[in-house]
């Protein structure tokens, strides 16, 4: 009788332990880290500001040695369901999509690195790299274009996103050496655009005209939809006059919106360390 009682108690204890373990594992598996700690750690370790603090370069070789850690981060994002995403506040949704775009872009580059000079090398005559279905997000196979053009641009209508998503190219605004988070999203978006506008290799006032990135030509409509009161591209340039020029007279000319706007060539070279 005593033996049976001890066995019964052991069985109950084991059942409770298994129930606890199952519940705990389920909670951990279903939990989402809104701080993006794993992604943040990889960026801080492998992305570096240049001396001007306006451009960054990516240590793809270092990321390749930690590919398993990157893939674990990406798998966590792929596990997020559409229902989970829909329940999040706007800022968290936006931060998630920006991080996903940047993370899966790096994953795409690593599929051939170092045997490429540009992300465009990963495309073909028939399909650009941005139209490849190579990852899962919110329950379906997705492309990078889906994140940018079907989600970020139409859903959130914040043109500063163009200085947040990174196409792994030198001509692109800097990949931040930190994850985007909901609590700091607005400050991060603003800082990213300010740094980009102040990068004289890609945006500048020279020879009596504004010479700016092709991004402002490709996505001009996004900058003219009224975000923060901006209805014309000239309004945007006037707001960031201090970043675009140093002499007070040049800044005044930009603010007066009496200068022509031209586009610079876009540098599609890979944004790797050493370039």
Residue pair 119/105 in contact (Cβ under 8 Å)? The answer is yes
Q: How far is CA 120 from CA 169, 176, 250, in A?
A: 9, 21, 36
Residues of the chain scoring pLDDT < 50: 1-29
For residue 23, the model assigns a pLDDT of: 32
Residue pair 147/154 in contact (Cβ under 8 Å)? The answer is no
Structure tokens at 123: 């495309």
pTM of the full structure: 0.88
Structure tokens at 10: 């052991």
For residue 30, the model assigns a pLDDT of: 52
Measure the CA angle with vertex 177, ends 264 and 154; round to 5°. 60
* Dihedral angle, C-alpha 27, 32, 35, 37, nearest 10 °: 80
Cβ-count burial of 107 within 10 angstroms (0-12 exposed, 13-18 middle, 19+ buried)? middle
Pairing of strands 261-263, 209-212: parallel
For residue 38, the model assigns a pLDDT of: 98
Q: Give 3-state DSSP helix, strand, coil % of the chain, rounded to 5.
A: 55, 10, 35
C-alpha 133/C-alpha 144 separation (Å) is 8
Residue pair 179/43 in contact (Cβ under 8 Å)? The answer is yes
For residue 9, the model assigns a pLDDT of: 40
Largest Cα–Cα separation, the chain: 99
DSSP state of 53: S
C-alpha 122/C-alpha 128 separation (Å) is 8
Structure tokens at 260: 């022509």
Nearest to 193, CA basis, from 239, 250, 147:
239
DSSP state of 270: B
Residue pair 267/215 in contact (Cβ under 8 Å)? The answer is no
For residue 21, the model assigns a pLDDT of: 34
Give me the half-sphere count of Cα atoms (radius 13 Å) on the Cβ side of residue 93. Answer: 18
DSSP state of 159: G
């Amino acid at each position: 009788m005593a033996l049976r009682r001890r066995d019964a108690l052991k069985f109950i204890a084991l059942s409770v332990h298994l129930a606890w373990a199952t519940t705990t594992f389920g909670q951990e598996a279903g939990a989402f880290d809104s701080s993006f700690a794993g992604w943040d750690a990889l960026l801080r370790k492998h992305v570096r500001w240049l001396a001007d603090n306006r451009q960054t370069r990516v240590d793809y070789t270092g990321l390749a040695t930690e590919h398993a850690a990157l893939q674990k981060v990406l798998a966590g994002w792929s596990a997020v369901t559409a229902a989970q995403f829909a329940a999040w506040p706007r800022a968290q949704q936006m931060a998630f999509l920006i991080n996903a775009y940047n993370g899966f872009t790096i994953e795409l580059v690593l599929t051939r690195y170092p045997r490429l000079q540009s992300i465009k090398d990963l495309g073909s005559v028939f399909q650009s790299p941005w139209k490849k279905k190579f990852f899962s997000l919110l329950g379906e196979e997705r492309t990078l274009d889906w994140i940018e053009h079907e989600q970020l641009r139409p859903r959130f209508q914040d043109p500063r996103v163009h200085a947040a998503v990174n196409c792994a190219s030198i001509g692109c605004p800097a990949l931040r050496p930190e994850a985007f988070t909901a609590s700091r999203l607005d400050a991060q978006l603003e800082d990213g655009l300010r740094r980009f506008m102040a990068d004289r290799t890609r945006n500048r006032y020279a020879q009596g005209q504004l010479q700016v990135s092709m991004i402002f030509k490709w996505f001009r409509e996004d900058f003219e939809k009224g975000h923060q009161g901006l209805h014309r591209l000239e309004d945007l340039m006037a707001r960031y006059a201090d970043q675009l020029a140093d002499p007070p007279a040049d800044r005044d000319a930009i603010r007066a919106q009496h200068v022509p706007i031209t586009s610079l060539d876009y540098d599609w070279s890979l944004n790797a360390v050493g370039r």
